[in-house]
Structure 1
Amino acid sequence: MRIGLIGQPNCGKSTLFNQVAGYRAETGNFSGTTVTFTESKVRLLGGIVTVVDLPGAYSLAGTNPAEQEVIKYLTSNEIDVVVNVLDASNIQHGLLMTIELLELNIPMVIALNMMDEADRAGIHIDVEKLEALIGLPVVPMIASKGRGIQPLFVKAYQVGQKKQVPPQPKYDEQIEAAIDVLATSLHEVDSYLNPRALAIKLLEGDQFVLKELPEENLSIKADLKAVNASLAHQYGGSADWTISDARSKLANQISESVIKHGLRKISLRDKLDNVLLHPFWGYVGLIMIMYLFFQIVYSVGGMIEEPMMGVFQNFEVWIEAQFANPKGFISQIIIGLMQGISGGIAIVLPYLVPFLVGLGILEDVGYLSRVAFLMDTLMHKLGLHGKAIVPFILGFGCNVPAIMSTRILEDKRERFISAALSTLVPCAARLAVVFGLVAFYLGPGLALAIYLFDLFVIAFTAGMLNRFLPDDSPGLILEMPVYRIPTLRTIINKAWWRIREFVVEAWPLLIIGSVVLSFLNFINASTYLNMLVRPLSWVLGLPEQVGVPLIFGVLRKELSLVMLGQALGSMDFPTVMTPVQMITFAVFVVFYVPCLATMLVIRKEIGVKAMWSIVALTTLIATVAGLVARIIASIFY
């Protein structure tokens, strides 16, 4: 059996999935698309079921490819039952999607999550009455604490076995008559939607569905035109507005019938927001929190890096001692192999692990959404596109999902600007370079300064792009989740999936690249590669040997740091580079050409021309930023 989880952002859907997902959870793509979902095998009632975590969405309006693929997947034979996760503290908002799901006529169960948050807000829900009104099983739960999870999946399993289809939502007589007229003429149309759902989508003006109608069937389009005109005359607005308004009224009626409001107490969380979202103190808090975050990552990484580097350096000396000719081919290849392994263990992972764990904590606590709010308010004044904040936040972990998230934007200009800005966000791999090169040797304060400089460059670049590609810059509509205490299991799972990407994908490349560099050095071929980058390294005042690390760094940013040590002949960077060079190199790596995986995703999402434009733009920005960093660093060192 296959159980699909769907819900609006911040409803706790992913928390629920993480609570039940095993270590073999996998991410896949819908057929022929870049829209992703995650699934895991779960043992239930003596058998094995598959739980699928579908992309979060505010509605199923089909306004973008992600929503359209989710609808197709839900109505396919692959899903046996759907679990619609609702935020109990904001049930009226979540019921809008529930009503859309009811229209699809698929077996479904409601997971009424975050009951503890509803209780804190003085909201009391009559669960039995809610079940009666929508005709679906409703299971109250608290996913973050593991409460109600087993009853939820047992109920979902039972509904899936019985193929229990919920009753259809009923609207005004005029709307129902319009739907019936269209549905009657749509019975012969081959679609993944049932006739009633197909009729509603056509009334909403769903362009994806409209394109799938047979060109020769003109009677359907004539009926649609007539029905639209009739609804416009009766309700004084377009058909899509009429349908949306009908859903809102129904959601309001249901929520008002099942909710009783008690006394809401001003909690510590409310007082926290008064400070953390304050026009002045909010930014002070942001800087303090980020400084503390960097200090913790630096401290943990530094405690691990130094002794680990000592162990591997002693091991390299021992390996060289085993060969009669320490500079021979075999010894150099083995040492290159060891440097690739040690780079991952001693340089990258000590900073990557605490960074990703810390990022997961900030995300689950609910602070990252507040960072988005604060940064939008600040950067919008500098010309930053409001909608770019969403991929901007995702980019802290990895630029790949950040680029993929731009598909929610409809305008090509918006997608290009958002993608370009996302590639400038210092992802975990780039920050590993900053921590390993700057924070470890020159202090965490400088690492934070580079991070803040990155934010300034992003804001400045956004202003330039908006000037050369003028358009109205819309604001950001962002739902602010409540503060939550994250569970240890969720944090560890989330960090593991992100760390696994480095272990499985990046580390092998790092090791291979390290061996290849040893081979190039042995045959003196690295000199020619360094010459390709020599104009750039000369302008930035960097050692001429940085060419190969920067070229290989396009594969993965972590490679540039490990291979830098190899190219310069020592992982003790202060002995082979000046502080100014270390800062300049780190700043350049933070901005220059996106990694190969990011480039491929840009090509898929917005095209080859946009990909090369972004590559050229980031190279220019990296060069200018590197020069600025070199000049400023020269004043202090």
Structure 2
Amino acid sequence: FVFGVTIVFGFLEEIGYMARVSYAFDGSMAKLGLQGKSIMPLLVSLGCTIGGAAGTRVIDSWGQRLLTIALAWAGPCAATFAVIPTLASAFFGWAGILVIILLFIIALIHIRITATIFGRKLAPEEERHGLIMELPPYHKPRWGMLFKQTLIKIWGIFKKAFSVIIIVSVVFYFLAYSPDGGIEGSVLYKVGIVIEPVTRFFGMGWQTFIAFVSSMVSKEAVLGVLSAIFAGTGNIFDSTVGAATADAELGILLTTAISKPEALAFMIAVTFNIPCLMAVSSTYQESHSLKWTGRIAIYYIATALILSSLVFHIANIFM
């Protein structure tokens, strides 16, 4: 996906179309403290946040580039919508579509608030300027140069991303490991039991909280981790790194073990959590700032937990 996004962005820029798209959306993006060049990375992030982060390279200002990435994290990616509709339909049936609509509404509000918070530092008012650019004529792409630049960009992204993923995967392996392969013997289980009084405040039991933590590594891991915990299929580590699949009757098991308010809080938490580990790595790759990457990550973890807590306690009143 990242290769496809990078080459499409390069192609649009090469033929002269990217400048016209940026110009058309400059007024809309200005309301968020951004230039028109941010529109394409934000749209691409609905498919993959990693690709959206890579697409910000066309933005001239470092601050606006990082602000664009920060806002892109708020948009639910394709991996999120491989998980959330399954859970929404299992717990709410036909009303699951209302949950999806709610997520989009929260995402739009989230983007606006995030732009206000981070925009003060990354794109202050005095540094915001209108987009002044010369629209280049349309012309045929130089395919050789396009593929060469794309491969160079892709190599830079994945070289940094895989080094981070290997480290985190090793750490997560030891946390999730147990001699018999079951959840009860793992460090995560023991920690989960201890911190459950705290996680309950955020609307999640230790089981759903562990799945929430796994979503930081990969959104696709959520169903597999839930299956490993509730159905006993596979183990936590295999589920997190994508080597295990969800049990076919997972929906039935979840609805008997988890209340609707907890399920709704969990879906909110997963949706607005860190997109994935590679997205974090890609953000660092594009920003070259560990401090700002950490700030954005902590911000999203905190807001995900705050939102889940609010939704859980409100839902408890009506459900």
Identify the residue that residue 618 of structure 1 maps to in structure 2.
300
Identify the residue that residue 585 of structure 1 maps to in structure 2.
266
Identify the residue that residue 385 of structure 1 maps to in structure 2.
34
Alpha-carbon distance change, 26 to 624 in structure 1, aligned in 2, over 3 angstroms: closer
Q: Does 1:599 align with 2:252?
A: no
Identify the residue that residue 556 of structure 1 maps to in structure 2.
218
Contact 1:593 / 1:618 at 8 angstroms: preserved in 2? yes
Question: Could you tell me which of 409, 422, 426 is aligned with 2:59?
Answer: 409
Structure 1 residue 522 displacement after superposition: 5.0
Partner Cα distance (2:297, 2:2) in 1: 30
CA-to-partner distance for each residue in 1:455-509, whole Å, 9 max, x for gaps?
1111111122223542354567999xxxxxxxxxxxxxxxxxxxxxxxxx9xxx9
Alpha-carbon distance change, 58 to 541 in structure 1, aligned in 2, over 3 angstroms: closer
2:74 maps to amino acid: L
Partner Cα distance (2:2, 2:121) in 1: 41
CA-to-partner distance for each residue in 1:235-264, whole Å, 9 max, x for gaps?
xxxxxxxxxxxxxxxxxxxxxxxxxxxxxx
Identify the residue that residue 395 of structure 1 maps to in structure 2.
45
Equivalent residues in 2 for 1:39-58, closer than 5 Å: 55-58=10-13
Structure 1 residue 26 displacement after superposition: 11
The TM-score normalised by the length of structure 2 is: 0.66
Identify the residue that residue 201 of structure 2 maps to in structure 1.
539
CA-to-partner distance for each residue in 1:27-55, whole Å, 9 max, x for gaps?
49xxxxxx954xxxxxxxxxxxxxxx781
Alpha-carbon distance change, 407 to 581 in structure 1, aligned in 2, over 3 angstroms: same
Alpha-carbon distance change, 568 to 601 in structure 1, aligned in 2, over 3 angstroms: same
Structure 1 residue 384 displacement after superposition: 5.0
Identify the residue that residue 122 of structure 1 maps to in structure 2.
none
Partner Cα distance (2:264, 2:33) in 1: 26
Contact 2:90 / 2:255 at 8 angstroms: preserved in 1? no
Larger proportion of helix: 2
Percent identity between the aligned chains? Answer: 23
Identify the residue that residue 429 of structure 1 maps to in structure 2.
79
Partner Cα distance (1:446, 1:546) in 2: 18
Identify the residue that residue 633 of structure 1 maps to in structure 2.
315
1:584 maps to amino acid: A
1:624 maps to amino acid: I
SS across alignment from 1:633? helix
Contact 2:47 / 2:78 at 8 angstroms: preserved in 1? yes
CA-to-partner distance for each residue in 1:100-127, whole Å, 9 max, x for gaps?
xxxxxxxxxxxxxxxxxxxxxxxxxxxx
Identify the residue that residue 455 of structure 1 maps to in structure 2.
108
Question: Could you tell me which of 562, 569, 574 is aligned with 2:255?
Answer: 574
Contact 1:395 / 1:427 at 8 angstroms: preserved in 2? yes
Contact 1:439 / 1:447 at 8 angstroms: preserved in 2? no
Backbone CA RMSD of aligned residues:
3.9
SS across alignment from 1:55? helix
SS across alignment from 1:406? helix
Partner Cα distance (2:210, 2:263) in 1: 16
Structure 1 residue 452 displacement after superposition: 1.6
Q: Does 1:523 align with 2:185?
A: yes
Identify the residue that residue 73 of structure 1 maps to in structure 2.
none
1:448 maps to amino acid: I
Identify the residue that residue 119 of structure 2 maps to in structure 1.
466
Question: Could you tell me which of 291, 297, 308 is aligned with 1:609?
Answer: 291
Partner Cα distance (1:477, 1:579) in 2: 51
Contact 1:554 / 1:595 at 8 angstroms: preserved in 2? yes
Equivalent residues in 2 for 1:344-383, closer than 5 Å: 377=28, 381=31, 383=32
Identify the residue that residue 145 of structure 2 maps to in structure 1.
none
SS across alignment from 1:56? helix
Structure 1 residue 603 displacement after superposition: 1.8
Contact 1:439 / 1:446 at 8 angstroms: preserved in 2? no
Contact 1:404 / 1:605 at 8 angstroms: preserved in 2? yes
Partner Cα distance (2:293, 2:61) in 1: 17
Partner Cα distance (1:421, 1:55) in 2: 22
User: Higher RCO, 1 or 2 (CA under 8 Å, sep at least 6)?
Assistant: 2
Structure 1 residue 58 displacement after superposition: 4.0
CA-to-partner distance for each residue in 1:145-179, whole Å, 9 max, x for gaps?
xxxxxxxxxxxxxxxxxxxxxxxxxxxxxxxxxxx
Partner Cα distance (1:619, 1:609) in 2: 15
Contiguous gaps of at least 5 residues in structure 1: 1-24, 29-34, 38-52, 60-84, 86-92, 98-368, 480-504
Alpha-carbon distance change, 632 to 391 in structure 1, aligned in 2, over 3 angstroms: farther
1:604 maps to amino acid: Q
Structure 1 residue 440 displacement after superposition: 4.0
SS across alignment from 2:83? helix
Alpha-carbon distance change, 522 to 629 in structure 1, aligned in 2, over 3 angstroms: closer
